[in-house]
A and B are shown apart, each in its own frame.
Chain A
Amino acid sequence: MARRVAIIASNGGLETAYKVLNIATAAAATEAEVAIFFTFEALAIIHKDAANMLTMGAGKEHYMEGFKRANVPSIPELVEIAKESGVKLIACQMTMDVTGMKKEDFIDGVEVGGAVTFLDFAYDADVTVTF
């Protein structure tokens, strides 16, 4: 059976988005089964309006120039690659209830689930990462 990588993303911001998606897409390219559980601020990563919601935190603006120079893909592009490579994207139901977000606010292909949905995948995971 393929290796499994279970990822919890609970922070917002561009940096977290890149950290999460780099690991997820690299793992998927290495033929692992990957699931990401998006909770709290991290829901912005899979939001249709991610481009406007994700910013580089104060004092970290200098990264932006480097991102451009290194030709790093945009977050929506990376999410698309993740989806194409079979990464499971799970939005946290509880955070959605608290913030009033709806499934329609997210990009297509996102699953909505509770903690158990993620745990069910994570119980058989070889690697678990938290961002």
Chain B
Amino acid sequence: MADKSVDCKGLSCPMPIVRTKKAIEEIEPGQVLEVVATDPGSVSDIKSWAERTGHQFVGTIKEEGVFKHYIRKSDPSELKPEKRYPHVVSNEELLQRLTDNPVIVDVREPAEYAFGHIPGAISVPFGKLEETIGELKKFADQEIHVVCRTGTRSDIACQILSEKGFPNVKNVVPGMSEWTGPVEKRS
């Protein structure tokens, strides 16, 4: 569920933060880092650190005294998309359509998807979109709702899909960051 994992088991403050900082420099923007720690202080430290440095804190899983923190390295380009995909639906509109079992493609990273997604949404991480496109062909004649966290990755995903012959693609804005509808989680 992560692109890189850093082992901080048995280490106390400030080492988990120091190691996290080092490890995030070694991954690409958009990739997810897993930090495995036993220090209970790391729970709030890692979250604050991510918010302070502008990376996305995805979530923490606690398993038998071990904390697994997930952080997605942010991409500076996320802040200023150059070209906007024109066909959008709002979170509210999608929420109203949920009863009709719409096709929803979630292009966030697997870790983000695991920590909460719209029930029935198909996970297609943005980086794997082009190689997965064949599997989506069966939905080509239906309306496809593409969702990410803020509407930026899904914007680009919509552009790619419409270029590859999907005529009826909609970007969900703003996306999961403000989703108030039902959510399914990794158990």
Are B11 and A71 in contact, CB atoms less than 8 angstroms apart?
Answer: yes
Is the CB–CB distance between A30 and B17 below 8 Å? yes
Chain B, 4-50, CB within 8 A of any chain A CB? 10-15, 17-18, 20-21, 45, 49
Q: Which residues of A contact B11 (CB under 8 A)?
A: 71
Q: How far is the CB of B180 from chain A (nearest CB, A)?
A: 32
Instruction: State the CA gap A20–B11 with chains docked (Å).
Output: 18
Q: Collect the chain B residues with CB atoms within 8 Å of residue A73's CB.
A: 15
Give the number of residue pairs across the A-B interface with Cβ within 8 Å: 32
The answer to the question of B53 belonging to the interface, with a C-beta cut-off of 8 Å to chain A, is yes
- A106-130 interface bits toward B, Cβ cutoff 8 Å, 1 = contact, 0 = none: 0000000000000000000000000
Contacting residues of chain A (15-31) with chain B, CB-CB under 8 angstroms: 22, 25-26, 29-31
Q: Within 8 Å CB of A71, what residues of B?
A: 10-12
In angstroms, Cα B41 to Cα A72, docked, is 14
The verdict on B52 contacting chain A, using a C-beta distance below 8 Å, is yes
A75 at the interface (CB under 8 A from B): no
- B12 CB to closest chain A CB, in angstroms? 4
Residues of B within 8 A of A70 (CB): 12
Distance of A31 Cα from B48 Cα, bound (Å) = 13
Does any Cβ of B come within 8 Å of A96's Cβ?
no
Complex contact A85–B12 (CB within 8 A)? no
Q: How far is the CA of A25 from the CA of B12 in the complex (A)?
A: 13
Return chain A residues, CB-CB under 8 Å to B49.
29-30
Min CB distance A47 to B, Å, is 22
The answer to the question of A50 belonging to the interface, with a C-beta cut-off of 8 Å to chain B, is no
Please give, as numbers and ranges, the residues of chain B lying within 8 Å of A31 by CB-CB distance. 52-53
Contacts of B18 in A (CB 8 A): 25-26, 29, 81, 85
CB distance from A52 to the nearest CB of B (A): 24
Nearest chain-A residue to B19 (Cβ)? Answer: A29
Rounded to whole angstroms, the CA-CA distance of A126 and B18 in the bound complex is 21
Selected from B10, B12, B13, B52, the residue in CB contact (under 8 A) with A30 is B52
Residues of A close to B20: CB separation below 8 A: 29
* Chain B residue nearest in CB terms to A71: B10
Q: State the Cβ distance, A28 to closest chain B Cβ, in Å.
A: 8
In the complex, chain A residues whose CB is within 8 Å of the CB of B53: 30-31
Smallest CB separation, A88 vs chain B (Å): 17
A-contact 0/1 string along B133-172, CB 8 Å cutoff:
0000000000000000000000000000000000000000
Known: A25-B18, A29-B14. 12 other contacts (CB 8 A): A22-B14, A25-B14, A26-B14, A26-B18, A29-B17, A29-B49, A30-B52, A31-B53, A71-B11, A71-B12, A85-B18, A85-B21
17 A-B pairs, CB-CB below 8 angstroms? A22-B13, A22-B14, A25-B14, A26-B13, A26-B17, A26-B45, A29-B14, A29-B17, A29-B20, A29-B49, A30-B21, A31-B52, A70-B12, A71-B10, A71-B12, A72-B12, A85-B18
Q: Please report B residues at the A interface, Cβ cutoff 8 Å.
A: 10-15, 17-18, 20-21, 45, 49, 52-53
